[in-house]
Chain A
Amino acid sequence: MKPEELRYAKTHEWVHIPQEDGNRLATVGISAFAVEALTDLVFLELPEVGKQVQQGDTLGEVESVKAVSDFYSPVAGEVVEVNSELPDDLERLGEDPYGRGWIAKIRLSDESALDTLMDHAAYGALCAEEEI
C-alpha cells in the first residue's frame, strides 16, 4: 500500500479503506514515523479476532526498549483477521510498515468518525511538528 493513499490517526496508526461500497474491510497498522521513533521494538500483542472496537479504543500493546504503550484503533468495527506472524517477526514493521507490517483487518461498523482521520499531507505536518 502507498502511504499517500492511507489515512492516519493523531496517535500514529494508519488505515487503508478500500473505495468500494458495501461491507468495508479496513486494514490498520502503525506508521513508519512511529515505528522509527519507537526504536528497538521487542514485543507486540495483537488484538483477538472477534473483538469489537470503537474508534480510539485500545487495539493492542507494543513494547520498545524504553516503554510499553497501547496502540489504538483508528476505526470502529470488528477485528476479523490479525497478522499472526508479526509478533515473531517484528522487523517487518520497520521494513514494510504499510505492507507486511499490517496489524489487523477490521470490518467497519460505523463510518461516521472517519472524517477525523488525516490524509498523508496533514499527517506529515503533524510529524514535522512533533520533531521527534
Chain B
Amino acid sequence: MAAPADPLVCRLLEDPPLEGATNMAIDETLLFSSGETAKPTLRFYSWCRPTLSLGYFQEHAQRRTHAASGSCVMIRRSTGGGAILHDRELTYSLLWPSEKLPRGESPSPLMASAWLYKTIHEALIRVLGRSAVQASLAADATTDNTDFLCFKRRSVWDILIGGVKVLGSAQRRSRGAILQHGSLILATSKHAPEIAGLAEVARGVVNAETIASLWAEEIAAGLNVQFKKVSLENREKDLVAEIAAKKYGSVRWTERR
C-alpha cells in the first residue's frame, strides 16, 4: 500500500472586515497567485458594512425587487448564482491550483470541481456536528435557480439545517486555478430578513472565530494540507488595490448587465 502523500502547504489568511470591492479584489488576486505558484490559499473574511453582491450574470436592475437591501452598497462578484446580502456572516475563499486536483477532477478550465465543494462543505458539517447540530448537503433538494437571492435558491452542494440553507458557495475557474468562495450565514440581517442563519436555526454555535478555527482544522484533514498563517505579499497588495479600483469598485463593472 502506498504511503499517504505529505500534506501540501496552504496559505491561511484571516482578514479584518473589509469593503466589498476589496474583498472581491483579494479573491481575484489570490486566484492569479494560486495559478502562478501552484500553491493553495484558504482565506476567512467579513464585510465592514452590509453589502449586496450580485452573481456574475445577474442584472443589476433586479435589486429593485429586494427593498430591504435597497440602502446597501452593491458590488458584482466574478462567480455566478444569486445575490447575497453580506452582513452577519463568515465568508471564506479557497484558491486551489488546477494541477493539484486529484485524479478524476478535470484539469480543464471549463469544469467545476465537485471535489472542492464536497470537501469544504462536508468539513463544515463535521464542525457543526461537534456542537450536536445536524446539518446536511441539500443533495436531494429540488434545484431552483430563479430567485434573486442565493439563499432562497437550492443546489446539490448547499448546506441545510432543518431545511434552511446556511452555506452556499460558488466557483470561478481560470486557466491555472479555481476560486471557490462561500457565505455561512451567522444570523439574520435586517437587510435580508427572510434569510435565517445559525443564530436562528442552531443556537450556540455563532462565534465566527471559533467556527473558522474548527473549520480550518477539518479542511486541513479533508484536503490533506498544512496551514501557514500569512498576510498578502506586497505585490499582491498592489494588485488588490488596482483590481478594487478598476474593476470591483467601478460602476461600469457593477452595472455591466
**Residues in A lying within 8 Å of B, measured CB to CB:** 10-12, 30, 34, 37-38, 40, 42-43, 45, 61-72, 130-132
A-B contact count (CB 8 A): 83
Residue interface mask B49-60, A partner, CB < 8 A = 1 = 000000011000
A-B CB contact pairs (8 Å), 18 listed: A10-B108, A11-B109, A11-B110, A12-B110, A63-B57, A65-B143, A65-B155, A66-B117, A66-B157, A66-B170, A67-B172, A68-B56, A68-B80, A68-B172, A69-B110, A69-B112, A130-B108, A131-B104
A71 near B110 with CB under 8 A, answer yes
Interface members, chain B 82-120 (any A CB < 8 Å): 103-114, 117
Give chain A nearest CB distance to B155 CB in angstroms: 5
B57 near A42 with CB under 8 A, answer yes
A43 near B108 with CB under 8 A, answer no
If A43-B57, A63-B56, A63-B57 touch, whether A69 touches B109 (CB-CB below 8 Å) is: yes
Query: Could you say which of B104, B106, B157 has the most chain A C-beta atoms within 10 Å of its C-beta?
Result: B106
If A10-B108, A66-B155, A68-B173 touch, whether A42 touches B80 (CB-CB below 8 Å) is: yes
B104 near A66 with CB under 8 A, answer no
Q: Which of B80, B103, B112 is the one whose CB lies under 8 Å from A43? A: B80
What 4 pairs across the A-B complex have the smallest Cβ distances? A67-B112, A67-B171, A63-B80, A43-B57
Residue interface mask B14-58, A partner, CB < 8 A = 1 = 000000000000000000000000000000000000000000110
Question: Could you say which residues of chain B place their CB within 8 Å of the CB of A30?
Answer: 110
Bound Cα distance A116, B117 (Å): 33
